[in-house]
């Protein structure tokens, strides 16, 4: 029998808000433990939550970007469970009336365009960070109460490749929309993955296995593949899949059982009496829509159609928002999109990856790159010299023009200097001269190389070629 | 001793303004009164003598430099569930042993701004769960009128200290009658403001959708003065309502006429099993209001009889979550275990009293999967029906008159073995909490055993001015509030 996998993702995304979801504390990754806390996020007696309006805006903007319906009336609920990562021992979340309903996402998976649908996006508060040491558990409440939204997909994916493409697209949209930085290492994007297996053709879904709380996309891929194989093997050997929650052991590349359905929590949801329902007008949604930036797909199209870049180049440039934003800034100073694109995809990406830097850390600013390109276009320096200048600025900073002057990198187009070098080359190398005259025009390149060598790269290649041709054709 | 402790906020403010006494004089008299009688009453859990004197001195200095803040130099006792920065806040529970509040509740900030002197912290039922202040882990409080009797609850200490002249006024909280019932039992005035009128920020929550902080005072006028300070929108409490606060104190005049006013009398509130003395005293009070010019009309609140059932579902459900934070991890009592779960179990087993445990279990049960619809959801529907009853009634009348309790204060220990019996005593007060209305209790007579009996005046949401006006007119033309217990 053939089996098919069905996969759904619940993705938690930490929003980029200045303060936490229900108090004024700020969130700062890596801050000393328990330094950004207050009576509200520590669950002190008498403290009350106050809704962060910015988080609501960002959650709805995520919903708008993902084509969700924005709920005109959503509400808050308490999800009760005892664990030291939740100060109040209940989490404020949204049970039956989330902020965003439905939605979808179009993604290319292995060359095919697929549509993945969403069930909902709801707003909630993050948990604290627990660290287990020998004989004790430590709790850092800095992260407790930070704004967190949960994007719930429908069970509409069928392979690890689907899930990864979906996640990558989701991450890209969140970054573009300014919703979240989505840094997996900082826990800003985490997913619970639901995997089930059924015989091909069967209507009902198989028993669902949930793998909780995974940051790394690579681990998500491994876990899904492992789970599909495990469940398929179970069914093939006549066994049954138990509905349960499993963890992923990254060292072994395996999932392991954590909690079966019988031991599932009863979260005893009920409406949060400390917060009022959230009402969002159609007008507000339109204002938010108008504030949203262009998405990667739209940018890609514009780069191809308006700037004349290739599909491939446009794809590379828009893969990360930071790169694309850098490119956009450079384009404000130059019209030569192709040159900017070549520099960014060539020198820039090479140097960044060699030195493990991000584009925002580059000493070559969009203005400086456009200056270098202007110098090349004006034939003041050669393309090769331009690349050298780029690397110098990248490593040491400084102004391109000044560097060219200091290092004497300007091209020589002056006829009298070129004249001497050309005569020298022709006199010293009679053989290629003869070959050229006999019709082998490619031999001129050798002479050209000699002139360039004599000029130490500074001769303007176009001017040299012109001069050599004049001299050889003339005699 | 100049007997300053026996006076009201209004009287003391006049004396202070006229320079006839200082705030330090008042504090000294009140502290002397506490020393003389609190052994018998047991209203206070902690008294902040030095700090109170410091605050009084500061108030006197402020007055000398021209301040006339509304409560300048007036000592106020605080129910032990309000957070005051740097002070313990035990909620009469062992589980909060050692907890020191790191912040001021909004009402405390407002009292400070109004110049009040924070005097000390008074006893209550643990986490405000109870009607007799007998569910208190850290002290016993008696009724100043007869120390064999309960002071009522949960704000028993708040009522007893005012009745015994051990404070000029106090703050309490009312979730199902916790201000009005002890006020009735102890013969003082207590106001439960409309839901959303007073910020709950800093009030240790029992049931968030029902809790309100309010004043307990010797007169209606004093309640009006104190209420004006407490009320107002607060950015820290999303359930507080943004609307202008009327000048409650100023608006009470010497005019005692109730002409043109319609007062409703719900027959359902004269319940079966009600003490005949209570019924008679309350009906006399109704007649008195009629003699002041009010028109008395019959109104019906048919769903109020389900209030107790709905109340004990909604309140316990909310409480089961509100009290989950007391887990031994961040503050208060901690009894270690081999893992967090065992730590929780041991801490909460040792820290909570039996009534609190009973309500947490009840609340957990009604929210459990499979029972939610049958209990919590239905209780919310009943709540809507009760609210609709009031809306309809207030279409016909300006305020509603009713008893506060079916009986006067009962004896200590009389009902402790029968929680259900004690729950039923809340039958006349819980409807106003469920509907979100305002209501007050004021003295309207005594039983043959010389125990006070209260009259309840219930107003529409945000109609505090109306109930204060009726109460003030009644008080101005009767003498009950002038009687003092002999201790
Ligand atoms: Zn905080």
All structural domains of chain A: 3-284 (no CATH), 294-407 (no CATH), 415-474 (1.10.10.410)
Strands ordered across the beta sheet of B452-459: B44-47, B117-122, B75-79, B169-174, B212-217, B189-192, B438-446, B452-459, B399-403, B262-266, B295-299
Name the CATH superfamily housing domain B4-261+396-482. Answer: Amidase signature (AS) domain (3.90.1300.10)
For range B183-211, the mean pLDDT: 98
Name the least confident of A146-160, A345-359, A401-415, A424-438: A401-415
Q: How far apart are CA A152 and CA A76, in angstroms?
A: 17
Chain B residues with CB within 8 Å of chain A CB:
81-83, 89, 91, 96, 99, 101-103, 105, 200-205, 207-209, 235-239, 317-318, 320-321, 324-327, 329-331, 340-341, 344, 364, 367-369, 372, 376
Give the rounded percent of residues in chain A with a pLDDT score beyond 70.
Answer: 99
Range A23-40 burial, b when 16+ CB lie within 10 A, else e = bebebeeeeeeeebbbbb
Give the rounded percent of residues in chain B with a pLDDT score beyond 70.
Answer: 100
A85 with A42: CB under 8 angstroms? no
| Residue B381 CA to ligand 1 centre (angstroms) | 35
Q: Which residues of A touch B364 (CB under 8 A)?
A: 268
Q: How far apart are CA A59 and CA A123, in angstroms?
A: 7
Res. A265: pLDDT tops 90: no
Quickly state the pLDDT bin for A382 (edges 50, 70, 90): confident
Q: Which residues of A touch B317 (CB under 8 A)?
A: 270
Q: Is the peptide bond before B154 cis (omega within 30 degrees of 0)?
A: yes
| pLDDT at residue number A4 | 95
Name the least confident of A31-45, A157-171, A352-366, A376-390: A376-390
Across chain A, mean pLDDT equals: 92
Q: Which residues of A touch B83 (CB under 8 A)?
A: 44-46
| pLDDT at residue number B425 | 86
Distance from CA of A34 to the nearest CA of B (A): 12
**Domain locations along chain B:** 4-261+396-482
Res. A133: pLDDT tops 80: yes
B458 with B402: CB under 8 angstroms? yes
* B45-69 confidence digits (pLDDT tens): 999 899 999 999 999 999 999 999 9
Q: Between the CA of residue B206 and those of A270, B141, B236, B377, B438, what are the distances in Å?
A: 16, 21, 18, 19, 19
Q: How far apart are CA A392 and CA B164, in angstroms?
A: 86
Interface touch B235/A50, C-beta < 8 Å: yes
How many beta carbons lie within 10 A of that of residue A391, not counting itself? 14
Interface touch A43/B325, C-beta < 8 Å: yes
The interface residues of chain A toward chain B in range 137-156, judged by CB-CB distance below 8 A, are 137, 139
Quickly state the pLDDT bin for A475 (edges 50, 70, 90): low
| Residue A144 CA to ligand 1 centre (angstroms) | 8
Across chain B, mean pLDDT equals: 96
Distance from CA of A244 to the nearest CA of B (A): 18
Q: How far apart are CA B163 and CA B198, in angstroms?
A: 24
- Considering the candidates B13, B23, B92, B154, report the single residue annotated as catalytic: B154
| pLDDT at residue number B420 | 82
Active-site annotation holds for B93: no
Cβ of residue A33 closer than 8 Å to a chain B Cβ:
no
Interface touch A48/B201, C-beta < 8 Å: yes
Cα A28-A29-A30 angle, rounded to 5 deg:
110
Q: Between the CA of residue A178 and those of A117, A134, A171, A284, what are the distances in Å?
A: 22, 40, 11, 18
Interface touch A44/B317, C-beta < 8 Å: no
Interface test with A, best of B107, B201, B336, B362 (most A CBs within 10 A): B201
Cα B236-B238-B244 angle, rounded to 5 deg:
90
User: Is beta strand A90-93 parallel, antiparallel or unpaired with respect to A278-279?
Assistant: unpaired
What is the ipTM, given to two decimal places? Answer: 0.96
Report phi then psi at A28, rounded to 5. Answer: -140, 115
| pLDDT at residue number A464 | 85
Instruction: Reduce the secondary structure of chain B to three states and give it as a string.
Output: CCCHHHCCHHHHHHHHHHCCCCHHHHHHHHHHHHHHHHHHHCCEEEECHHHHHHHHHHHHHHHHCCCCCCCCCCEEEEECCECCCCCECCCCCHHHCCCECCCCCHHHHHHHHCCCEEEEEECCCHHHCCCCCCCCCCCCCCECCECCECCCCCCHHHHHHHHCCCCCEEEEEECCCCCHHHHHHHCCEEEECCCCCECCCCECCCCCCCCEEEEEECCHHHHHHHHHHHECCCCCCCCCCCCCCCCHHHHCCCCCCCCCCEEEEEHHHCCCCCCHHHHHHHHHHHHHHHHCCCEEEEECCHHHHHHHHHHHHHHHHHHHHHHHHCCCCCCCCCCCCCCHHHHHHHHHHHHCCHHHHHHHHHHHHHHCCCCCHHHHHHHHHHHHHHHHHHHHHHHHCCEEEEECCCCCCCECCCCCCCHHHHHHHHHHCHHHHHHCCEEEEEEEEECCCCCEEEEEEEECCCCHHHHHHHHHHHHHCCCHHHCCCCC
- Considering the candidates B23, B158, B170, B178, report the single residue annotated as catalytic: B178
Interface test with B, best of A268, A271, A272 (most B CBs within 10 A): A268
Q: Which residues of A touch B195 (CB under 8 A)?
A: none
Active-site annotation holds for B178: yes
CA proximity to B80, closest of B160, B154, B177, B176: B154
Distance from CA of B445 to the nearest CA of A (A): 37
**Closest chain A residue to B367 measured between Cα atoms?**
A268
Res. A454: pLDDT tops 90: no
Active-site annotation holds for B447: no
* B94-144 confidence digits (pLDDT tens): 999 999 999 999 999 999 999 999 999 999 999 999 999 999 999 999 999
């Amino acid at each position: 029998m053939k089996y098919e996998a069905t996969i759904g993702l619940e993705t938690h995304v930490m929003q980029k808000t200045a303060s936490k979801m229900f108090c004024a504390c700020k969130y700062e990754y890596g801050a000393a433990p328990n330094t950004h806390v207050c009576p509200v996020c520590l669950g002190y007696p008498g403290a009350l939550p106050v809704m962060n309006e910015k988080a609501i805006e960002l959650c709805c903007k995520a919903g708008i970007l993902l084509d969700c319906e924005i709920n005109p009336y959503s509400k808050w609920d308490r999800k009760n469970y005892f664990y030291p990562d939740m100060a109040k021992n209940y989490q404020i979340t949204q049970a039956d009336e989330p902020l965003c309903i439905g939605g979808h996402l179009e993604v290319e998976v292995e060359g095919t365009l697929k549509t993945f649908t969403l069930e909902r996006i709801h707003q909630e508060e993050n948990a604290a960070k627990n660290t287990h040491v020998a004989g004790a558990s430590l709790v850092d409440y800095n992260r407790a109460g930070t704004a967190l939204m949960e994007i719930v997909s429908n069970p509409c994916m069928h392979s690890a490749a689907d899930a990864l493409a979906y996640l990558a697209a989701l991450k890209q949209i969140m970054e573009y929309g300014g919703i979240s930085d989505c840094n997996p290492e900082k826990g800003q994007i985490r997913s619970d993955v639901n995997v089930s297996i059924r015989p091909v053709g069967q209507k009902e879904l198989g028993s669902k296995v949930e793998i909780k709380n995974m940051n790394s996309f690579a681990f998500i891929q491994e876990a899904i593949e492992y789970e599909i194989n495990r469940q398929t093997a179970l069914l093939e050997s006549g066994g049954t899949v138990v509905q349960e929650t499993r963890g992923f052991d990254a060292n072994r590349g395996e999932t392991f059982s954590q909690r079966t359905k019988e031991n599932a929590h009863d979260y005893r949801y009920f409406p949060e009496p400390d917060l009022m329902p959230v009402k969002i007008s159609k007008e507000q949604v339109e204002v938010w829509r108008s504030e949203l930036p262009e998405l990667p797909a739209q940018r890609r199209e514009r780069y191809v159609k308006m700037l004349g870049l290739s599909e491939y180049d446009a794809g590379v440039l828009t893969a990360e928002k930071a790169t694309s934003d850098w490119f956009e800034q450079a384009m404000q100073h130059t019209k030569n999109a192709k040159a900017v694109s070549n520099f960014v995809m060539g020198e820039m990406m090479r140097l960044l990856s060699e030195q493990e830097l991000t584009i925002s850390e580059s000493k070559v600013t969009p203005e400086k790159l456009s200056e270098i390109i202007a110098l090349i276009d004006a034939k003041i320096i050669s393309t090769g010299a331009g690349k050298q200048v780029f690397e110098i600025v990248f490593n040491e900073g400084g102004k391109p023009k000044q560097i060219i002057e200091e290092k004497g990198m300007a091209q020589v187009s002056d006829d009298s200097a070129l004249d001497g070098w050309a005569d020298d080359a022709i006199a010293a190398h009679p053989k290629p001269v003869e070959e050229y005259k006999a019709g082998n025009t490619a031999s001129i390149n050798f002479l050209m190389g000699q002139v360039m060598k004599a000029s130490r790269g500074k001769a303007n290649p176009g001017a040299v070629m012109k001069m050599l041709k004049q001299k050889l054709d003339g005699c | 001793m100049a007997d300053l402790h026996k006076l009201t906020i209004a009287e003391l403010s006049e004396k202070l303004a006229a320079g006839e006494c200082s705030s330090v004089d008042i504090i000294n008299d009140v502290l002397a009164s506490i020393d003389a009688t609190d052994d018998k009453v047991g209203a206070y859990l902690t008294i902040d003598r030095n700090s109170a004197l410091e605050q009084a001195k500061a108030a006197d200095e402020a007055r000398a430099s021209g301040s006339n803040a509304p409560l300048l130099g007036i000592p106020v006792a605080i129910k032990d569930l309000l957070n005051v920065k740097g002070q313990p806040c035990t909620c009469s529970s062992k589980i909060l042993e050692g907890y020191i509040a790191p912040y001021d509740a909004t009402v405390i900030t407002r009292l400070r701004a109004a110049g009040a002197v924070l005097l000390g912290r008074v006893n209550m039922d643990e986490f405000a769960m109870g009607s007799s202040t007998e569910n208190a882990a850290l002290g016993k409080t008696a009724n100043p009128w007869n120390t064999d009797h309960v002071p009522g609850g949960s704000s028993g200490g708040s009522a007893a200290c005012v009745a015994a002249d051990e404070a000029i006024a106090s703050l309490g909280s009312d979730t199902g009658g916790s201000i009005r019932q002890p006020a009735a039992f102890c013969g003082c005035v207590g106001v439960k403001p409309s839901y959303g009128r007073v910020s709950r920020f800093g009030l240790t929550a029992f049931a968030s959708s029902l809790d309100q902080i309010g004043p307990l005072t010797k007169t209606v006028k004093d309640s009006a003065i104190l209420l004006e300070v407490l009320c107002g929108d607060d950015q820290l409490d999303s359930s507080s309502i943004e609307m202008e606060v009327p000048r409650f104190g100023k608006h009470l005049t010497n005019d005692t006429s109730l002409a043109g006013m319609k007062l409703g009398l719900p027959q359902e509130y004269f319940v079966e099993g009600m003490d005949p003395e209570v019924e008679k005293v309350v009906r006399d009070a109704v007649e008195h209001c009629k003699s002041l010019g009010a028109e008395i009309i019959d109104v019906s609140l048919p769903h109020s009889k389900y209030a107790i059932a709905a109340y004990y579902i909604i309140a316990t459900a909310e409480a089961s979550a509100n009290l989950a934070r007391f887990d031994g991890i961040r503050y208060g009592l901690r009894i270690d275990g081999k893992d967090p779960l065992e730590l929780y179990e041991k801490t909460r087993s040792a820290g909570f009293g039996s009534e609190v445990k009973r309500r947490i279990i009840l609340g957990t049960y009604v929210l459990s999967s499979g029972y939610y619809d049958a209990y919590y959801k239905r209780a919310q529907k009943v709540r809507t029906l009760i609210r609709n009853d009031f809306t309809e009634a207030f279409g016909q009348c300006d305020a509603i008159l009713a008893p506060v309790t079916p009986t006067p204060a009962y004896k200590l220990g009389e009902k402790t073995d029968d929680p259900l019996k004690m729950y039923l005593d809340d039958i006349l007060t819980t409807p106003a909490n469920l509907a979100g209305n305002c209501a007050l209790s004021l003295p309207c007579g005594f039983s043959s055993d010389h125990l006070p009996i209260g009259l309840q005046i219930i107003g529409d949401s945000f109609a505090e001015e109306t109930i204060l006006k009726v109460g003030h007119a009644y008080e101005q033309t009767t003498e009950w509030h002038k009687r003092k217990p002999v201790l």
